[in-house]
């Protein structure tokens, strides 16, 4: 381990001066060196678990066999006062000097109710004007990627990755609707689900800033048109991590993630344009 102090000795004349230099050298070597802390450029495993202060934008259209559905801007239509959960888990395994496997899980769910001043058609179900509709959304992304570190220096590294994002999306509208003639009421429900695998390529960098601080940045993108899927995915994330101990670390940063797909499957026919962006805070483990 390197001593935290550099020592440079010039020629000294006289026995007293030589004795003084020898004494200082003894004191320097007697100072205990600081124990090495976690090293994001060497340690095999890195895990982080966080939540978001997110600005989201969700636009969905679910078509039916009888025609095109009504596009719904979820945030404008339902607002953001309902029940929401947002969790992101990231992990990496450095199994060789220049090779990593990275994984990510993101999950968010929302439930809101609003009265609509327009007719909503959703998967061949029609909700009349003035109906109070309950909207439910569950969105999750699972990612696995291989990363090769093509640049490695003493204080930073940069790698390229290739992998796949697997997106799952479930949405449901439900309402109590008066029957024609006002003779009673009934429940109408329309739901749809989407499973979209999207390959991605990306760049990832880590920089040591000193004082147990690390800067971590990721950029991923892909555009694809294959079989029943056509769309694009973007994921940009930058974070500043304070990691004084292996099991004690805190990170703050910014994340933008968006999925824009057109789908024609048995479970979901229509479009999904989903984006979240905003600050994140997370707990970090490095070992």
What is the end-to-end Cα distance of the chain in Å, rounded?
A: 19
- Tell if the pTM clears 0.85, that is, is over it: no
Please, are residues 231 and 259 in contact by the beta-carbon 8 Å criterion? yes
pLDDT tens-digit series, residues 36-91 = 689 999 999 999 999 877 667 788 888 877 778 888 888 788 876 656 778 899 99
Identify the pLDDT of residue 195: 82
The residue-averaged pLDDT of 193-219 equals 92
pLDDT tens-digit series, residues 214-272 = 999 999 998 877 667 678 889 999 999 999 999 999 999 999 988 888 877 766 778 88
Q: What are phi and psi of 234, to 5 degrees?
A: -135, 140
Identify the pLDDT of residue 42: 95
Assess whether pLDDT exceeds 70 at residue 182. no
Beta bridge mates, 122: 125
**150: Cα separation from own chain's centroid:** 24
pLDDT tens-digit series, residues 7-20 = 332 333 344 333 43
């Amino acid at each position: 381990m390197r001593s935290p102090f550099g020592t440079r000795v010039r020629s000294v004349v006289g026995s007293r001066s030589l004795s003084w230099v020898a004494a200082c050298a003894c004191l320097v070597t007697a100072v205990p060196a600081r124990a090495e802390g976690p090293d994001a450029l060497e340690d095999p495993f890195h895990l982080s678990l966080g939540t978001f202060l997110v600005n989201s934008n969700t636009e969905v259209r679910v078509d039916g066999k009888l025609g095109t559905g009504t596009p719904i801007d979820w945030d404008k239509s339902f607002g953001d006062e309902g029940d929401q959960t947002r969790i992101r888990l990231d992990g990496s395994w450095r199994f060789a000097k220049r090779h990593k496997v990275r994984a990510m899980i993101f999950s968010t769910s929302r439930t809101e109710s609003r009265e609509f001043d327009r007719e909503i058609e959703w998967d061949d179900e029609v909700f009349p004007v003035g109906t109070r509709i309950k909207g439910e959304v569950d969105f999750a992304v699972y990612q696995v990627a291989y990363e090769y570190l093509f640049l490695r220096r003493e204080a930073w590294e940069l790698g390229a990755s290739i992998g796949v994002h697997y997106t799952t999306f479930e949405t449901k509208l439900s309402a109590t609707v008066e029957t024609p003639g006002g003779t009673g009421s009934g429940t109408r429900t329309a739901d749809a689900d989407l499973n979209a695998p999207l390959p991605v390529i990306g760049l990832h960098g880590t920089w040591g800033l000193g004082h147990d601080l690390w800067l971590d940045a990721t950029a991923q993108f892909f555009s694809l048109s294959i079989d029943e899927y056509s769309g694009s995915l973007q994921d940009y994330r930058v974070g500043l991590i304070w990691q004084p101990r292996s099991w004690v670390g805190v990170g703050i940063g910014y994340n933008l993630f968006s999925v824009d797909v057109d789908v024609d499957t048995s479970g979901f026919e229509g479009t999904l344009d989903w984006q979240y962006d905003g600050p994140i805070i997370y707990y970090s483990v490095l070992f």
